[in-house]
A and B are shown apart, each in its own frame.
Chain A
Amino acid sequence: MTLWKRLFSNTSAPQARERLQILLSHERQVLGGNDLLSSLREDILAVVAKHVPCERDNVKVRLERGTPMSVLEIEVEVRGNIELGISQAA
């Protein structure tokens, strides 16, 4: 970088770049409907919601990647006490 540029460095493009990188990495997580985690989330939500009321935000799917093993963590919060519906034989 020349002395001139260093003295008057007031460029805006690096800021644009940084803001976009932060924003898009967030939006891709929230909106990205195509990656493994969000399709897992959608499928789990559909299955659970068939039986107990459950909202999208209450299904959390996390993946800890590693070798030799990865951990897929699925957490589903359901409001209230769930009725199990097991009929007990008398």
Chain B
Amino acid sequence: MAKIITVTSGKGGVGKTTTTAAIGAALARTGDKVVVVDFDVGLRNLDLIMGAERRVVYDFVNVIQGDARLPQALIKDKRLDSLFLLPASQTRDKDALTEEGVDKVIGDLSRHFDWVVCDSPAGIERGATLAMRHADIAIVVTNPEVSSVRDSDRIVGILDAKTLKAERGETVDKRLLLTRYDAVRAARGDMLKTEDVLEILSLPLLGIVPESSDVLKASNMGVPVSIHEPNSAPARAYHDAALRLKGEEIAMEAPKQRLGLFGKFLRRAA
């Protein structure tokens, strides 16, 4: 049986889809069988971030409605043999995802994969609650910024109330992934520090992904950032996070403050 991960945040634009693709690819690179599932019906983007947008024939809703079989809708990644994508549908209405349909598809997937990584839509509506319904682990993606932290707190409350685990009296294993972290601005006092966010949300830390131009470059190319430039700072952060998900103890690498000449001068003056 697969472990089911839901990547969620409440707020939009914090890096859920980037994280789903990056964690999925990083897990697959270790040899595990991984499927990434897009729950954002009507606004699918995981296909684009994975570079598979031109290979979508059938989607999640087609499978639920019986127009396609699950293997027909799964897209195999071109770079990693053990990585697959189940795309969301682009045109149909949001109510096309039903609870029973999702239960069936997730059940089928979890029999064939080691990891099912669900990319949640933003918000707290049906799509988001369906995406978290089966979660064993929830990755709460948060930017060090007030509105993102607030929405993450809200999502944590929903994870504790509206998941199958919650209904069974168990708890979803929630992990904080801090993204777009800028160590220089945090040191300067103009951005919430990791410790601040951890203290406010009181979640265990899965990783810190630094703000980096590599993320946009990878999405431009349609390659998960974790395998685009494997030695880039965000790629390393995602790889470490994936290993932590697998239960390995990896020391948390604090993002380095990369200072230009001017910054170095300012620091010396300070």
Interface residues of A (CB under 8 A from B): 2, 4-5, 9, 11-14, 16-17, 19-21, 23-24, 27-28, 31-34
Contact = CB atoms under 8 A, between A and B. Distances in A.
CB-based closest 3 A-B pairs: A11-B189, A34-B160, A4-B270
Chain A interface, >50% SS class: helix
Given A4-B270, A24-B153, A12 B190 contact: yes
Contacts of A4: 269-270
Given A2-B270, A13-B196, A17-B196, A32 B188 contact: no
Q: What bracket does the count of chain B residues touching chain A fall in?
A: 20 to 34
Contacts of B153: 24, 27-28
Contacts of B189: 9, 11-14
B192 A16 contact: yes
Contacts of A2: 270
Contacts, number: 50
Contacts of B149: 20, 24
A24 B270 CA distance: 34
A24 B191 contact: no
B200 A21 contact: yes
A28 B270 contact: no
B157 A34 contact: yes
A17 B200 contact: yes
6 contacts: A2-B270, A4-B269, A16-B192, A20-B146, A23-B150, A28-B157
A24 B200 CA distance: 8
